[in-house]
């Protein structure tokens, strides 16, 4: 039965560096060693690769799953598309109205319609965002954090 050995001082430093736990002078000194020591660079690269792999294998957070559920729902997609469509149509009407005003010195109905469409589109987008926020609030891990 083989026993695992204790990590060396350099291995502990490499782990701390890869985890972002070295600060100030210790970090600068370690980075200077990295520039000189290829074996140490390989050790840090391996540890950083393990960290990336661990993040990829981690299960999805509840809030992330809820975002996926929201994105798959027709209400979220439809609300976003309607809101963006209204805002875009309003911007186009507003541009057309401004062009008419510049060319013919009158205040065309397109300006009023464009402004109304933009306002309505932004209101729809706000409602979609508030709906998403309300659905995600119970899953937010920071709601009970006190400052």
Reported as a single tens digit per residue, the pLDDT across 44-86 is 888 888 877 777 766 666 677 777 777 788 888 888 888 989 8
More confident residue, 110 or 86: 86
More confident residue, 145 or 20: 20
Q: pLDDT value at position 68?
A: 78
pLDDT at 17 over 80: yes
Q: Which residue has the higher pLDDT, 83 or 145?
A: 83
Residues 6+ apart with CB under 8 A from 137: 143
What is the chain's mean pLDDT, rounded?
A: 80
How many helices (H) and strands (E) in the chain? 6, 0
What value does the mean pLDDT take over residues 20-30?
86
The string of pLDDT tens digits covering residues 82-97 is 898 988 888 888 887 7
- Tokens 């809030």 correspond to 63
In the prediction, which pLDDT does 23 show? Answer: 84
**For residues 118 and 97, what is the distance between their CA atoms, to the nearest angstrom?**
13
Whether the per-residue pLDDT at 147 is higher than 70: the answer is no
Residue ranges per structural domain of the chain: 9-57, 62-139
- pLDDT at 59 (0 to 100): 65
């Amino acid at each position: 039965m083989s026993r695992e050995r204790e990590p060396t001082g350099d291995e502990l430093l490499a782990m701390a560096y890869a985890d972002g736990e070295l600060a100030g002078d210790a970090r600068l000194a370690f980075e200077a060693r990295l520039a000189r020591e290829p074996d140490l660079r390989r050790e840090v690269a391996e540890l950083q690769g393990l960290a990336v792999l661990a993040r990829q294998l981690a299960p999805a957070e509840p809030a992330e799953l809820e975002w996926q559920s929201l994105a798959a729902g027709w209400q979220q997609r439809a609300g976003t598309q309607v809101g963006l469509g209204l805002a875009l149509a309003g911007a186009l009407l507003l541009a057309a109205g401004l062009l008419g005003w510049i060319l013919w010195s009158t205040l065309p109905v397109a300006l009023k319609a464009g402004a109304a469409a933009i306002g309505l589109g932004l209101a729809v987008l706000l409602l979609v965002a508030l709906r998403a926020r309300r659905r995600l609030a119970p899953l937010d891990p920071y709601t009970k954090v006190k400052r």
